[in-house]
Amino acid sequence: MTALATDLDSASYGHFQRVVNRLTGLDLTAYRQGQMRRRLEVLRARVGATDFIAYARLLERDPQRVQELRDFLTIKVTEFFRDTPHFRRLATDVLPSLLAVRRSLRVWSAACSVGAEPYSLAILLMELAPGGAHRIIATDVDRTALARARRGDDYSAVELRGVVPERLARFFVPAAETSTWALRPEVKRLVEFREQNLLIESPGNAFDLILCRNVVIYFTDEAKRALYERLTAALRPRGVLLLGATEVLPRPSALGLAVEGPSLYRRLSGQD
């Protein structure tokens, strides 16, 4: 590719990024560019756009293509009680320590997808502190996933493979004509779902626990730093942040966090 062709290609992709940001609020420059560009090339070819200028024009005139892009960019791999060691520690250590201070907890599940993570937390809180007025706020940018999460149904055996039989019987009901399961209303009542881009804003502050797992690995270092600052600011003093199993927070002390275990951080004491 000649220098001129390279410049034109970069300008085309830059225009596409700006259109996507205007239409969806997603800032593609916050993601690792090589990885993101390769994924988008696949979708561009799939929709029949000759280049990114043509793809941008397609998005501007077809809202269904915009939603298709949102769905394509978001990660859908999820299941209840995913990463068993994390949920075991939440059940035996993290949540009991928080409940020893507060009878009712405020929790944020970031990038919640179809709701498996926040509903898993709701189940744990119903088991550990059934009388508490707990509030779980679950956010994602994917409208399709959020619509299913709000329904709290159509969960497959694969998504439920981490749910032990006792929990399945207590917190779920089987669908009448399919081999899927739905959550009982008392579980769903604990979770509020919101469409929100965690790279731009948080759903509030004074959270006792924030889960942001298996998300930051796709972001640039600059975007990660901004996100970590936002997550820390949203925690109460002594609140806990849980990242993904392979995600490590660099220099947590600079953010006012102390390491509590693998992928687990606690905000240092201060004014509540």
Whether the per-residue pLDDT at 223 is higher than 80: the answer is yes
> Per residue in 153-196, pLDDT tens?
999 998 999 999 999 999 999 987 778 999 999 999 999 999 99
Q: Are 51 and 119 in a shared domain?
A: no
Q: Are 34 and 105 in a shared domain?
A: no
> Per residue in 131-145, pLDDT tens?
899 999 999 988 888
Q: Are 203 and 244 in a shared domain?
A: yes
Residue range 82-109: mean pLDDT, rounded: 95
Q: Are 222 and 88 in a shared domain?
A: yes
- In which band, very low, low, confident or very high, does the pLDDT at 272 lie, cut at 50, 70 and 90? very low
Q: Are 209 and 117 in a shared domain?
A: yes
Radius of gyration of the chain (CA): 20
> Per residue in 75-94, pLDDT tens?
566 899 998 999 999 999 99
Q: Are 129 and 260 in a shared domain?
A: yes
Residue range 228-243: mean pLDDT, rounded: 95
What is the C-alpha to C-alpha distance for residues 192 and 139, in angstroms, rounded to an integer? 9
Whether the per-residue pLDDT at 148 is higher than 80: the answer is yes
Looking at residue 205, its pLDDT comes to 93
Q: Are 120 and 15 in a shared domain?
A: no
Q: How many domains are there within the chain?
A: 2
Look over the chain and give the mean of its residue pLDDT values, rounded to a whole number: 89
CATH number of the domain where residue 261 is located = 3.40.50.150
Pinpoint the alpha helices (H) of the chain.
Answer: 3-24, 33-47, 52-61, 63-73, 84-89, 95-99, 116-128, 143-151, 165-171, 185-188, 221-233
Residue 272 lies in a domain: no
What is the pTM for the complete model shown? 0.80
Q: Are 185 and 62 in a shared domain?
A: no
Looking at residue 254, its pLDDT comes to 93
Residue 78 lies in a domain: no
Structural domain including 50 reads 3-73
Token look-up 């978001």 returns 74
Answer positive or negative: Cα dihedral of 141, 143, 146, 148.
negative
